[in-house]
Amino acid sequence: MEVKIGVQHAPREIVLESGQSVEEVESAVADALAGKARLLTLVDDNGRKVLVPADHLAYVEIGQPTPRKVGFGAL
């Protein structure tokens, strides 16, 4: 699924494709915002960890990935 993270005072958002479930991402965000965790930690499809300080989170958007198009387009 696609996850977009807005960070305060940053001009661009962080976008990643994650294999984590919606519930896992929601739980990680809730824990970070509740002060249970100092960092929001998510893992992308390549196994890389994305760490964002919880006190700098502006928003987190959780959505479904857009299907990749395969083939050739007609001109």
- Residues whose CB falls within 8 Å of the CB of residue 51, separated by 6 or more in sequence, listed in order: 39, 40, 41
Tell me, yes or no, whether 69 lies in a domain.
no
Residue 45 is part of which domain span? 2-63
Tell me, yes or no, whether 49 lies in a domain.
yes
Tell me, yes or no, whether 40 lies in a domain.
yes
Which single residue is written with the structure tokens 């965790």? 37
Q: What is the pTM of this model?
A: 0.78
Number of domains in the chain: 1
CATH of the domain at 26: 2.30.30
DSSP letter, residue 75: -
Q: Quick check: 75 pLDDT over 70? A: no
Q: Quick check: 7 pLDDT over 80? A: yes
Tell me, yes or no, whether 18 lies in a domain.
yes
Tell me, yes or no, whether 71 lies in a domain.
no
